[in-house]
């Protein structure tokens, strides 16, 4: 009897693997760039040319390969990155599966030119459709150049699923930045028919991220915090810059870009009440941890990872973002972690740590045979807006989050602005050292009032006041009175209202928060009851506290169209410094925007 189960031919196996690894031209570029970084390169250059779906060429000045190594490199599951199963628990390189080159070669033509530093001549290898066509000696500089052409020519069905040329080019750019942004110590250059973009080797990851953000960079604030297992640093975008999707979110762990649903949820929670629910921020977060704390071998394309302590990371991210967004923008210096020397002395592998620095115990200190991982110690860090634990202190206690009133907070950004006028009776025109700042007076006052109400709701003792005329209201009538009255009274008491029973299903309001002068309590209550009755499902505690506090603040705040005196404008700005998350109103609209001196000079064509 003929067996129905049989081993697949190598070319079929390679094409199946290519389906997981090589989804589009950007997938090819990602694998080639990561191999270049793993080679210990000091410079990496990517060229995109030719007709769609493009020819790609990536050149590096890394360690290169011998003739025998080059022939092995295009075979499946051959790699220099790991040697045993234990190494999978401490991966310090981008690549480790040995699938990239053979998978690419099964759906394209690949030319590989490489030379070791100690050899006088190099090797040129050409492979196509999974078959090596030629191997010969060739003159070449130190390092490796890989050229990929005729992509998907032998699998036209795959090419049919590619998007437009413009879309695929945008994916190429995104992949380039995803590898280059955290690649400190390496210069990167990207060339396509439209032009050239480059990162210098001396640029830090933070500087690269700020430059990548372009004009949005002026609305980024620094974040930096450490715990027992993680360090998170980078830039958090203020509400002035946001995106409809996740295109502005850039997460990196130990230099590798990744996606993570838990971290997305933490970001959404941190920006709740700061951005509208359908918007996401611009964010650059660099996470460093021991390689043992993160598993990068959970996704075919290695775009997702699994953390050993995901809740700790998500909570750390939520708190550091919340702290940064609640503070005024600071120009304080951001700590930059330099990478260790990437090229070890000849014959020394793994590389020895720099004097006074230790790599993570048990970690595989590798970025390929010629590289070393980033220095993730905190020694010598200065200028951070967040305090680091003292030497010898326990790292498992309270996290070192920033305290209000610290050095960054004392800059008093809004108080430092000089109000010079009002536009359209809605926007305050202010001046600072870098240009003009426009402040939406309604959004600003709304945030101030909301902040005071939230302080009261959280039990921070915001003042209340008695009213001359009490206001009698009825219960919403959406629950049985035995359940509804306690919920209503609890909410009113926490918010700062004083009240007394008025008979039947009615309550008499006799006072309220001092932050609500001239508050139309009856109108607010009617809108609240109408909203509750219209909902198909009610909040767990009957009231959505933040929504109701927003509604109160909106009814009370200075309106657009009202004239504001200079003294009132100064007071408004000073009060903004004390408000939490003062960069946006409770609905998520920005409170302020800046027109920089450079932008003004460009508009007026001033060059000197």
For residue 232, give the nearest of 269, 266, 194, 187 by alpha carbon. 266
Average pLDDT, the chain: 79
pLDDT tens digits, 66-115: 999 999 888 877 776 655 666 666 666 776 656 788 889 889 999 999 99
Return the C-alpha torsion angle 8, 78, 177, 206, nearest 10: 140
- In the predicted structure, residue 302 carries a pLDDT above the cut 60: yes
pLDDT tens digits, 256-279: 999 999 999 999 989 887 888 888
Sequence spans of domains, the chain:
10-199, 205-325, 422-578
> What is the rounded distance in angstroms from the CA atom of residue 274 to the CA atom of residue 579?
13
- In the predicted structure, residue 139 carries a pLDDT above the cut 60: yes
Contact between residue 62 and residue 370 where contact means Cβ atoms under 8 Å apart: yes
Three-state secondary-structure class, residue 539: coil
> What is the rounded distance in angstroms from the CA atom of residue 206 to the CA atom of residue 217?
11
DSSP E strand boundaries for 297-417: 306-307
- Residue appearing with tokens 């902040």: 451
- Above pLDDT 90, what percent of the chain? 38
pTM here is 0.69
pLDDT tens digits, 365-422: 334 444 333 333 333 332 333 333 333 333 333 322 233 334 444 458 899 999 999 9
The token duo for 106 is 């099964």
Burial of 551 (0-12, 13-18, 19+ CB in 10 A): middle
> What is the rounded distance in angstroms from the CA atom of residue 285 to the CA atom of residue 296?
17
- In the predicted structure, residue 180 carries a pLDDT above the cut 70: yes
Helix locations, 537-596, DSSP H: 545-556, 566-578
- Answer whether CATH 3.30.565.10 is correct for domain 10-199: yes
Phi/psi for 469 (5° steps) reads -120, 120
> What is the rounded distance in angstroms from the CA atom of residue 200 to the CA atom of residue 186?
7
Burial of 527 (0-12, 13-18, 19+ CB in 10 A): middle
- Answer whether CATH 3.30.230.10 is correct for domain 205-325: yes
pLDDT tens digits, 587-601: 788 899 999 888 899
The token duo for 273 is 């009440």
CA–CA distance from 468 to each of 5, 462, 495, 510, 520 (Å)? 88, 20, 19, 8, 13
Residue predicted with more confidence, 157 or 536: 157
- Residue appearing with tokens 């925007």: 593
- Residue appearing with tokens 């030497």: 391
> What is the rounded distance in angstroms from the CA atom of residue 423 to the CA atom of residue 443?
15
Q: Could you give the angle at the alpha carbon of 252 between the alpha carbons of 246 and 258, nearest 5°?
A: 60
Strongest mean pLDDT among 432-441, 450-459, 496-505: 432-441
Return the C-alpha torsion angle 295, 298, 301, 303, nearest 10: -60
3-state SS, 382-425, equals: CCCCCCCCCCCCCCCCCCCCCCCCCCCHHHCCCCCCEEEEEECC
pLDDT tens digits, 305-323: 889 999 999 999 998 998 8
> What is the rounded distance in angstroms from the CA atom of residue 146 to the CA atom of residue 109?
10
Residue predicted with more confidence, 21 or 398: 21
pLDDT tens digits, 312-361: 999 999 989 988 887 444 433 333 333 333 333 333 333 333 343 333 33
Q: Which CATH architecture has domain 422-578?
A: 2-Layer Sandwich (3.30)
Sign of CA dihedral 198, 91, 265, 386: negative
> What is the rounded distance in angstroms from the CA atom of residue 516 to the CA atom of residue 445?
11
């Amino acid at each position: 009897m003929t067996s129905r189960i049989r081993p697949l031919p190598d070319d079929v196996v390679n094409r199946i693997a290519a389906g997981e690894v090589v989804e589009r031209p950007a997938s090819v570029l990602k694998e080639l760039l990561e191999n270049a970084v793993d080679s210990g390169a000091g410079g990496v250059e990517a060229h995109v040319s030719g007709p769609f779906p493009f020819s790609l060429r990536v050149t590096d000045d890394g360690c290169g390969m011998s003739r025998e190594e080059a022939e092995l490199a295009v075979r499946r599951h051959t790699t220099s990155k790991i040697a045993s199963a234990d190494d999978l628990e401490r991966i310090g390189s981008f690549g480790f599966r040995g699938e990239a080159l053979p998978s690419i070669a099964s759906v394209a033509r690949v030319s590989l030119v490489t030379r070791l530093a100690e050899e006088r001549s190099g090797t040129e290898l050409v492979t196509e459709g999974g078959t090596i066509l030629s191997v010969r000696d060739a003159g070449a500089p130190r390092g490796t150049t890989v050229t990929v052409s005729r992509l998907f020519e032998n699998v036209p069905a795959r090419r049919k699923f590619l998007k437009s040329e413009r879309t695929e080019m945008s994916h190429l750019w995104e992949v380039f930045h995803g590898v280059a942004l955290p690649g400190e110590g390496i210069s990167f250059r990207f060339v396509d028919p439209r032009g050239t973009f480059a990162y210098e080797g001396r640029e830090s990851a933070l500087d690269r991220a700020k430059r990548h953000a372009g004009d949005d960079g002026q609305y980024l604030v620094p974040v930096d915090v450490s715990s027992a297992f993680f360090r998170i640093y980078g830039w958090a975008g203020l509400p002035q810059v946001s995106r409809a999707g996740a295109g502005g979110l850039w997460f990196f762990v130990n230099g590798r870009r990744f996606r993570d649903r838990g971290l997305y949820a933490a970001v959404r929670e941190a920006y709740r009440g700061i951005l509208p629910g359908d918007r996401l921020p611009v964010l650059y977060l660099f996470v460093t941890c021991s390689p043992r704390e993160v598993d990068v071998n959970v996704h075919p394309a290695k775009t997702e990872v699994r953390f050993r302590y995901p809740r700790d990371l998500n909570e750390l991210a939520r708190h550091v973002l919340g702290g940064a967004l609640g503070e005024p923008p600071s120009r304080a210096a951001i700590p930059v972690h330099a990478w260790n020397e990437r090229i070890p002395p000849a014959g020394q592998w793994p590389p020895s740590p720099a004097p006074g620095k230790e790599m993570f115990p048990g970690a595989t200190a590798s970025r390929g045979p010629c590289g070393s991982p980033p220095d993730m110690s905190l020694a010598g860090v200065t200028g951070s807006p967040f305090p680091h634990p003292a030497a010898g202190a326990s790292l498992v206690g309270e996290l070192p989050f920033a305290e209000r009133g610290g050095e960054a907070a004392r800059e008093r950004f809004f108080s430092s602005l000089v109000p010079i006028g009002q536009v359209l009776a809605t926007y305050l025109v202010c001046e600072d050292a870098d240009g003009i700042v426009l402040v939406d007076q309604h959004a600003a006052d709304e945030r101030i009032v909301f902040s005071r109400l939230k302080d009261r709701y959280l039990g921070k003792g915001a003042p209340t006041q008695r009213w001359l005329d009490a206001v009698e209201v009825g219960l919403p009538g959406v629950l049985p009175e035995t359940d509804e009255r306690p919920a209503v009274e609890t909410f009113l008491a926490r918010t700062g209202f004083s009240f007394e029973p008025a008979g039947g299903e009615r309550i008499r309001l006799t006072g309220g928060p001092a932050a609500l002068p001239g508050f139309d309590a009856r109108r607010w209550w009617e809108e609240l009851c109408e909203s509750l009755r219209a909902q198909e499902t009610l909040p767990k505690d009957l009231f959505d506290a933040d929504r109701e506090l927003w509604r109160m603040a909106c009814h009370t705040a200075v309106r657009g169209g009202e004239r504001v005196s200079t003294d009132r404008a100064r007071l408004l700005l000073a009060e903004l410094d004390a408000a939490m998350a003062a960069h946006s109103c409770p609905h998520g609209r920005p409170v302020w925007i800046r027109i920089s001196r450079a932008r003004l000079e460009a508009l007026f064509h001033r060059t000197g």
